[in-house]
Amino acid sequence: VFNIVDIIDACPYIRPVELSGAAQAAGERLSREVIVEAYLRIVEGQGNDGVNMRRLGRELGVDATAVYRYFRDKDEILAMAAARLLREVTRDLPGTGGWRERLRALLLSLRRVYFAHPNALLALQLVAPMLDEGYENVDLALALLRESGLPEEEIPVVFEALETYTIGGTVFDARATPESLERWRRVYSGMPADRFPNLASTGRRLYTDADKAFRCGLDLLLDAIEAKAHATRMDER
């Protein structure tokens, strides 16, 4: 059995952490918000792997170890950065329209937001904070799946499939570089045509546009969900 204390304890950064105005005025240089913003700023400039604690301290004009008064460890900073980014996912989404186009826009927005921050996303996977806001997108995805007419018992597992595809695919695509993709094309297209005819013929046409491939798979998934929901509705009559 678990209680709220476990949850709070597992996610210290959801405690009331906002420093009061008074405390700010008292001259503190750091806060959780400031640290997370510095982290995101560095990623934007240096890239996803360009962040270490010393670099973060430098960005904040503070000793590298000062942030340990605000976060338990580095992963907690990343997870809070991811939670911060979560809030942006549902921003600028169409509030009206069919379930399919809204779900599509939602998952593409998730990919867009996290593509530049795969490490933060991976940290979030293992931490699961209790948030006041940020999970609107998850609730909405479930709501839209319900709206599709899919049988109730399939909703959790279909949701998971969509989530895995979106997050897994985004993290994976974000790791690739133009060079690594070109290398794969070269290797595949250079394989002996007698033993690997399909690689030899198709290798050159692979990995030209990761976003296009992602949208292709997403649309296939939505096609199948729509068809299955339609079949369910027919059965019910």
Enter the tokens of residue 99.
Answer: 């379930």
Shortest Å distance, C-beta 37 to DNA: 15
List the interface residues with a second copy, window 54-113 (CB under 8 A). Answer: none
Q: What is the size of the binding site for a second copy (CB under 8 A)?
A: 73
What's the CA gap between 230 and 76, in Å, rounded?
43
Out of DNA, a second copy, none, which partner does residue 17 contact, by CB within 5 to 8 A per kind? none
Determine, following the binding rule CB under 8 A, whether residue 5 of this chain makes contact with a second copy.
Answer: no
Candidate residues 48, 55, 191, 232; the one interacting with a second copy per rule CB under 8 A: 191
**Residue 78 C-beta: closest distance to a second copy, Å:** 14
**Residue 227 found at the interface with a second copy (CB under 8 A):** yes
Of the candidate residues 48, 88, 196, 232, the single one contacting a second copy (CB under 8 A)? 196
Q: Binding string, 201-220, against a second copy, x = CB under 8 A?
A: -x--xxxxxx-xxx-xx-xx
d(CA 187, CA 97): 44
Cα(176)–Cα(12) distance, integer angstroms:
33
Sequence-distant (≥ 6) Cβ neighbours of residue 152 within 8 angstroms: 146
Pick what 46 binds: DNA, a second copy, none; C-beta below 5 to 8 Å, kind-dependent.
none
Question: What is the enclosing helix (H) or strand (E) of 177?
Answer: none
Pick 66 or 181: Cβ nearer a second copy: 181
Regarding 115 and contact with a second copy (CB under 8 A), the answer is no
* Smallest distance from DNA to CB 19, Å: 7
Applying CB under 8 A, does 221 fall inside the site for a second copy? yes
65 binds, among DNA, a second copy, none (CB under 5 to 8 A by kind): DNA
List b or e across 48-75, with b for residues whose CB sees 16 or more CB atoms inside 10 angstroms.
beebebeebbebbebeeebbeebbeebb
